[in-house]
Amino acid sequence: MTAKGAILIDAANGTVLWARYPHRRLQIASTSKIMTAVVAMERLRPHDVIIVDKSVRRVAPIKEGLRPGEKVQAWKLFYGTLLYSGNDSALALAIGAGGTRSRFVALMNEKAGGLGMKETHFRSPSGLIDRDNYSTAWDMAALSRYAMWNPRFRAVVRTRVKLVRWAPPTYAKEYVNKNHLIGSYPGANGVKTGWTTKAKHCLVASVRRVGAWLIAVVLGADDSYGDVKKLFAYGFARRG
């Protein structure tokens, strides 16, 4: 196990099956976008139209190239945020759902409090900022379990590739899920990757098979995929 903090839970009932420093505060990078999507989905309908704010031009470094002023349906931004992990998509969703970036971040932290995430604080909708943007494996497992019970959220994060029609001059976009377990690991159905230099590799992963549904969280890992595969192997062996 290379992660600084990790946990494996039964998604059906929340039972902790294995943990390593589950309450250690760590940077969580783009796994923050799980909360961004949760809050936005609870405030926006899929076909609500969002006018992309001019501030998206200042977002770095990972962005899908949204143009200020263009009109985009919310569901497209959910794929851009959760599959491609576009920081401009996350910001556009935040402003569309919360009115302003700062108001939306306040909503993220309010939601965290409501879910009992006592060791979590969000600083941005993208997770790009490490300072004061942190959580724990325990809290991220609680958030992800909550998110995965939302069928709209679940439908997005289980998708491996999504081709989306777009207005000219873009015409179409193809989003490829950065979670490499999707389509390659039996039963994988979510949820989100993350990386910054300080956070290292972060991965929240969900696998559902006959008779069992597990969620694993690894934060600050050198080998996030290796870590979660070990956790899932242990979890499914334990469930017989």
Which amino acids are annotated catalytic?
30, 33, 85
Whether the ω angle into residue 169 lies within 30 degrees of 0, i.e. cis, is yes
Residue 132 zone, left/alpha/beta (φ > 0; ψ -120 to 50; rest):
left
Q: Could you tell me which residues come within 8 angstroms of residue 25 by beta carbon, excluding any fewer than 6 positions away?
A: 119, 134, 135, 136
Q: Which of 198, 192, 232, 195 is nearest to 212 (CA)?
A: 232
Q: What secondary structure does DSSP assign to 74-107, as a single string?
A: HHHHHHHHHTS--HHHHHHHHHHHHSSHHHHHHH
| Contact present, 180 and 192 (Cβ < 8 Å) | no
Q: What secondary structure does DSSP assign to 118-160, as a single string?
A: TT-B---SS----TT-EE-HHHHHHHHHHHHTSHHHHHHHT-S
* Token pair in block for residue 179: 């979670």
| Contact present, 124 and 105 (Cβ < 8 Å) | yes
